[in-house]
Structure 1
Amino acid sequence: MPDDGSLKVTPQPVRRQVEDRLREAIVDGRFMPGDHLSDRLLCELFGVSRSVIREAVRRLEAEGLVDVLPNRGPFVAFLSPAEATQVYEVRTVLEALAGQGFAERASDEEVAELRAVFEEIAATRPGTDRTALLRLKRRFYDVLLRGCRNAYVARMLDQVLNRNTQLRATTLSDPKRLPHTVAEIRRIVEAIERRDREGAWEACRDHVTQAARVALRILNQQAREKAETGSRDPAATAA
């Protein structure tokens, strides 16, 4: 066979394909925190064997996206307020580094691409489908991570954002949050367009800080309500 100079494309293993699709389903909010990821459900959804499903679930458990409970099986993981605080502390630094790197190293075409995705976010209104908003934010970060030209920051922030998905879904559940989100991202984009690396750092840091305040307020309220419900539940008291 003659060598035409083309690169051979090796298909991904089935397990990796299932892992990627399941991660995407969790990140997009199609599976929500607390949802049971039964073997039967996932086998039917992805059309693969139970062994493939279990291997993919193990990988996502290692990333913190899935909790496997004894005698109950895998569930989409919850984040406690304490865990969420740690996630946001890490995300703040990584996102600021990504914004700074993008302002310094992204091409003009990538800057324009980031602006275009932002304009789509800015055009949304309260009540917009949460999954659609999450996908728009995911596209924004895809461009940001590609253009920051730092593979380590991109890899670590991508993993943190996956773990952070339910928190972003939580902040989007606050109808007052969206206009603030748009204003904060506008500040990021405008700093980048000026090639203002320090301004991009500060804008990214402030965006994550404000998102953290909203998410932690909601999570703490949910934790208090859960504790109050549990204290009134005779079965919970007996346990």
Structure 2
Amino acid sequence: MVVRGVALQADTLRRQIENAVRDGITSGRYAPGSRLVERELCEELGVSRTSLREALRKLEAEKLVEIVPHKGPVVASISLEEAGEIYALRELLEGFAAQEFATRGTDEDLNAFGREAAVLRGHALAGETAEVLEAKSRLYSIMLGRCGNTLVREVLQSLFSRINILRATSLMHPERISQSLAEIDALTKALQSRDADAARKYASQHVKNASIVALKLLGEQQQAALVDS
């Protein structure tokens, strides 16, 4: 029992380290292409190098970190092509999930979605980027968890970390925020009226419009990085 207790504590610690580094990456604090210096991270997080390396292996599996020979762990970069593929997949799957959620979700599920959409709007209008990303994640967790299709949820959740990086790129941009809120409002109304076709349309359009801004910004960032290198 003691051994199991020790294993549980070690697993909990590893998840805490994963979450801390993952949050640093998705928030932009650790920029794409930058080195993750193990000594500095160990000091910052107050953990051992062994625990840190275990967490980094998990983040490598999520494609957030790359282990580069003779250089060590580096924050992974999302190419323009990969970002386009992620958005194309999201557009299809999230549209389908919204359609199914409109018909399969309970009244309480749909009301919970509406409440979380209102929370997201409040944080967005206050300019609270981190809180907006958290609210957006909760919003989609409600829809994906109640759409009745486990495979769709699993596929999108496997992309969750990289999706959050792309969301952080575009969500609070002046060209995007007001339009994004209007799209979420339209989706919420379609869901509450159980209009499955409209829900699919608005969810897909929301992703499509986000991709236009995000891919533009990502392309500009990568072009600037090439000029500076």
Aligned-pair distance for 1:182?
A: 0.3
Q: Output the TM-score relative to the length of structure 2.
A: 0.85
Alignment of 1:150-229 (within 5 A): 150-229=149-228
Cα distance in structure 1, aligned partners of 2:42 and 2:217: 34
Aligned length: 221
Cα distance in structure 1, aligned partners of 2:14 and 2:119: 34
Q: Output the TM-score relative to the length of structure 1.
A: 0.82
Percent identity of equivalent pairs: 37
Alignment of 1:55-74 (within 5 A): 55-74=54-73
Alignment of 1:72-111 (within 5 A): 72-111=71-110
| Correspondence for 1:6 | none
Amino acid at match of 2:111: A
Whichever structure has more helix as a proportion of its residues is 2
Amino acid at match of 2:62: E
Task: Check the 8 A contact 1:126/1:175 in 2, yes or no.
Answer: no
Aligned-pair distance for 1:156?
A: 1.2
SS of equivalent to 1:123: helix
Task: Check the 8 A contact 1:33/1:166 in 2, yes or no.
Answer: no
Amino acid at match of 1:82: E
Aligned-pair distance for 1:134?
A: 0.9
Aligned-pair distance for 1:173?
A: 4.7
Deviation string for 1:84-134 (max 9, x for gaps)?
A: 111111111121122122112111111111101111222345561321211
Structure 1 residues 27 and 221: CA distance shift in structure 2, 3 A: closer
Q: Which runs of 5+ in 1 are unaligned?
A: 1-9, 231-239
Task: Check the 8 A contact 2:65/2:73 in 1, yes or no.
Answer: yes
Aligned-pair distance for 1:35?
A: 4.4
RMSD: 2.3
Structure 1 residues 122 and 175: CA distance shift in structure 2, 3 A: same
Higher CA-based Rg: 1
